């Protein structure tokens, strides 16, 4: 029995090149943002959306199930929660440590060298702004690259702690992570957690905490004051990849708007700051920001793609 004659293929309908539409839309967005930035010194307020293209996922971005991160209170008061955090962190850290700045980070650093952006206030804890060459960076929520002793205040590099944790827990390291979160936290099977050994401060034996602001904790006052001063000294605020859900970032949008500065918001999905925005853009930052640079300079940004 011979197979049935195949249906004739329908004539192909001409379709635009896959990216041509979105490319021209992104060009339009880039021109609009460049127009707002031209002749103004701007501060960039950055959220997780800038790092997703570097493989660091977003807690609240479009299409992601909400995930419950550890809270400050849990970390301080529960030895089991700390063991769980560090066990997951040992597994998740290499992926964070390996992450590279993307075209968006590099363009933002270039915009700073150009003088269009005076400073970066970031909610990200991945260190990618520094890796990209941004000079003036305020890390609102701290950095995963540092660990702080809650006893004596000593700072240890996260890399160094990784070696100590791996030595204390030789059987944990080979376990594959099932998911990585922005705080370097990964899911680990429960049985392994029970046996996990936490490392203490090498200087005083005190409790070690990643030098990041967990949910439920406050951004340190000096960091807030420094950020307000940067916003007050600028002429525009541009939000990059944040839904502005948490007050720690949203307050600077409020401040800029109160001072009459134009606020531009680039984010995939609505944000809490949208009613205050002079310009609202939905575009992938790795594609948009190099074009903003090009619009401002009439020069393509080298190394951007």
Residue 229 in contact with Zn ion, rule: CB under 5 A: no
Residue 201 in contact with Zn ion, rule: CB under 5 A: yes
Q: Name the residue nearer to Zn ion (CB basis): 55 or 206.
A: 206
Q: Which of 29, 105, 129, 141 is catalytic?
A: 141
Q: Name the residue nearer to Zn ion (CB basis): 62 or 163.
A: 163
77-85, 108-116, 194-202, 271-279 -> range binding Zn ion (CB under 5 A): 194-202
Residue 133 in contact with Zn ion, rule: CB under 5 A: no
Count of CB atoms situated within 10 Å of the CB of 283: 21
Exactly one of 173, 203, 229, 278 binds Zn ion (CB under 5 A); which one? Answer: 203
Residue 69 in contact with Zn ion, rule: CB under 5 A: no
Residue 204 in contact with Zn ion, rule: CB under 5 A: yes
Q: Name the residue nearer to Zn ion (CB basis): 160 or 204.
A: 204
Q: Name the residue nearer to Zn ion (CB basis): 131 or 154.
A: 154
Shortest reach from residue 199's CB to Zn ion, in Å:
11
Q: Which helix (H) or strand (E) holds 149?
A: strand 142-149
Total site size for Zn ion, rule CB under 5 A: 8
Q: Name the residue nearer to Zn ion (CB basis): 154 or 166.
A: 154
74-82, 156-164, 205-213, 266-274 -> range binding Zn ion (CB under 5 A): 205-213
Report in angstroms the alpha-carbon separations of 185 from 55, 66, 91, 127, 171: 14, 14, 8, 16, 18
- Do 284 and 49 contact (CB within 8 A), yes or no? no
d(CA 206, CA 218): 22
Residue 195 in contact with Zn ion, rule: CB under 5 A: no
Q: Which 3 state secondary structure label does DSSP give 187?
A: coil
Burial bucket for residue 20 (CB in 10 Å: 0-12, 13-18, 19+): exposed
d(CA 14, CA 2): 34
d(CA 208, CA 76): 10
112-120, 203-211, 230-238, 270-278 -> range binding Zn ion (CB under 5 A): 203-211
CA nearest neighbour of 43 among 102, 155, 122, 148: 122
27-35, 111-119, 201-209, 253-261 -> range binding Zn ion (CB under 5 A): 201-209
Give yes or no: 141 in active site. Answer: yes
Residue 230 in contact with Zn ion, rule: CB under 5 A: no
Binding mask 145-184 for Zn ion (x = CB under 5 A): ----x-xx-x------------------------------
35-43, 64-72, 193-201, 280-288 -> range binding Zn ion (CB under 5 A): 193-201
> Distance between alpha carbon 146 and the CA centroid of its chain, in Å?
16
Residues that bind Zn ion (CB under 5 A): 149, 151-152, 154, 201, 203-204, 206
Catalytic residues: 141
């Amino acid at each position: 029995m011979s197979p049935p004659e195949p249906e004739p293929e329908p004539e192909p309908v001409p379709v635009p090149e896959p990216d041509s539409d979105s490319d021209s839309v992104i060009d339009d967005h880039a021109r609009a943002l460049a127009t707002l930035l031209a002749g103004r010194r701007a501060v960039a307020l950055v959220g997780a959306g800038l790092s997703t293209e570097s493989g660091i996922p977003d807690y609240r971005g479009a299409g992601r199930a909400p995930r419950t991160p550890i809270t400050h209170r849990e970390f301080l008061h529960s030895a089991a929660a700390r063991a769980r955090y560090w066990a997951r962190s040992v597994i998740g850290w290499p992926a964070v440590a390996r992450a590279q700045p993307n075209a968006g980070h590099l363009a933002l650093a270039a915009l700073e060298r150009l003088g269009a952006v005076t400073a970066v206030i970031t909610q990200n804890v991945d260190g990618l702004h520094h890796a990209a060459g941004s000079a003036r960076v305020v890390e609102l929520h701290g950095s995963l690259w540092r660990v702080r002793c809650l006893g004596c205040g000593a700072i240890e590099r996260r890399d160094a702690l990784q070696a100590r944790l791996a030595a204390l827990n030789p059987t944990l390291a080979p376990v594959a992570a099932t998911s990585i979160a922005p705080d370097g936290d990964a899911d680990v099977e429960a049985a392994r957690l029970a046996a996990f050994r936490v490392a203490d401060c090498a200087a005083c034996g005190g409790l070690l905490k990643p030098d990041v602001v967990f949910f439920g904790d406050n951004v340190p006052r000096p960091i807030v004051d420094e950020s307000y001063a940067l916003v007050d000294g600028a002429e525009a605020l541009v939000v990059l990849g944040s839904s502005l859900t948490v007050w720690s970032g949203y307050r600077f949008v409020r401040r800029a708007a109160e001072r009459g500065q134009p606020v531009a918001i680039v984010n995939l999905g609505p944000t809490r700051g949208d009613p205050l925005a002079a310009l609202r853009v939905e575009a992938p930052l790795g594609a948009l920001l190099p074009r903003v640079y090009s619009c401002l300079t009439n020069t393509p940004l080298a190394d951007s793609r």
